[in-house]
Amino acid sequence: MSFLDLQLLVVLAQELNMRKAAEKLFVSQPALSQRLQNIEKQWGTKLFIRTQKGVLLTPPGEIIIKFANEILENQERVKEEIQELDSEVHGTLKIACASIVGQNWLPKVLKQFVNTYPHAKISLITGWSSEILKNLYEGEVHIGIVRGLTDWKGSKFHLFEDSLYLVDREIRKIEEVMETDRPFIQFKSDSNYYQEIQNWWHRQFQTVPKRTIVVDQIETCKQMTYNGIGYAILPAITLSGSEKDVYKIPLMDERNKPIKRDTWLLGYESSFELRQVQAFLDIVQEYIKNE
């Protein structure tokens, strides 16, 4: 099979829908169907079964999709190795990044990177810290950007720290938290952030919140707070400073010092031997210096 045929199978396995796969591959649906029939004829077996809702992978199809993925990944790696021989920075920079950083800090850095190295490509995954570490351990990305403390044995670079604030449209002092009947809006997290907040709360109030609302995204939490539904604890990275009629009270620890969150860039030393990865690190360090 050609690389185009391999790509066709991988995309179709991802979408499990002929129309969506055709759109993603920029071909017509009949052309896609004809190419799939030719591939199945080459293998002498059905790779997909059509249903009313889309297509399903057959057991032989699963084996061949795995083969196709391996070939395409090897192809990408070989391209990167060849491009490393050039003087220009080429190749794909693969990043796994904490969602909150990907939304609020990373775009500014990436803008500078793509302007400086127009030939480089970027693959970005956002998610929770545990997912980012998993991507790093399995070699799916070159670098990871995580929040909070983490036990990492490879290269580790501190990016920045930001304070935590209790944010609300009504509460002006921490003591007023116990007087309101509005809910404490929290967002899910798999890092030590949630436990850190719980520890602060119990140390401060020696009780549990009267009411809580739990959401799955920090941006949802922020918007609900800005709309007066309740109050939340948010890191400074999410607060632009342009918010109107919103009070931001810094959280203090037992020594009356501001509670802060650290953000780290992680990677294996071998990854930084790639020109595009080292170039990105250089951009990051220059950005932090200028900040």
pLDDT digits (tens, 9 = 90+) for 163-178: 999 999 999 999 999 9
Q: Would the CATH topology of 3-83 be identical to that of 92-160+262-290? A: no
Separation of CA 196 from chain center: 22
Say which CATH topology domain 162-260 has: D-Maltodextrin-Binding Protein; domain 2 (3.40.190)
Contact 92, 139 (CB under 8 A): no
pLDDT-above-70 percentage for the chain: 97
pLDDT at 130: 81
Strand pairing class (155-168; 143-147): unpaired
R_g of the chain computed on alpha carbons:
24
What amino acid occupies position 8?
Answer: L
Q: Write the DSSP symbol of residue 17.
A: -
CA distance 95 to 266: 10
> Helices 29-43 and 3-15 meet at what angle, rounded to 10?
110
Q: Determine the number of helices (DSSP H) and then strands (DSSP E) in the chain.
A: 10, 11
Minimal CA–CA distance to 29: which of 64, 54, 46, 49?
54
Domain ranges of the chain: 3-83, 92-160+262-290, 162-260
Contact 101, 145 (CB under 8 A): yes
What residues have CB less than 8 Å from 144, skipping those under 6 apart? Answer: 95, 96, 97, 132, 133, 135, 136, 265, 266, 267
CA distance 29 to 159: 47
pLDDT at 196: 83
Q: What pLDDT band is residue 156 in, cutting at 50, 70 and 90?
A: very high
Q: What pLDDT band is residue 244 in, cutting at 50, 70 and 90?
A: confident
Residue 262 forms beta bridges with which residues?
161
**Domain 92-160+262-290 maps to which CATH number in 3.40.50.11740, 1.20.200.10, 3.40.190.10, 3.40.50.720?**
3.40.190.10
pLDDT digits (tens, 9 = 90+) for 104-143: 899 999 999 999 999 899 999 998 888 898 999 999 999 9
Token pair listed for 113: 């990177």
- What CATH number should be reported for the domain whose range is 3-83? 1.10.10.10
Helix (H) or strand (E) holding 227: none
User: Strand, helix or coil at 31?
Assistant: helix
pLDDT at 128: 84
Residue 232 forms beta bridges with which residues?
167, 185
DSSP for 248-269, please give it: EEE-B-TTS-B-EEEEEEEE-T
Against a cut of 0.85, is the pTM above it? no
| 5, pLDDT greater than 80 | yes
DSSP for 54-85, please give it: SEEE-HHHHHHHHHHHHHHHHHHHHHHHHHTT
Q: Write the DSSP symbol of residue 116.
A: H
pLDDT at 81: 76
Contact 217, 98 (CB under 8 A): no
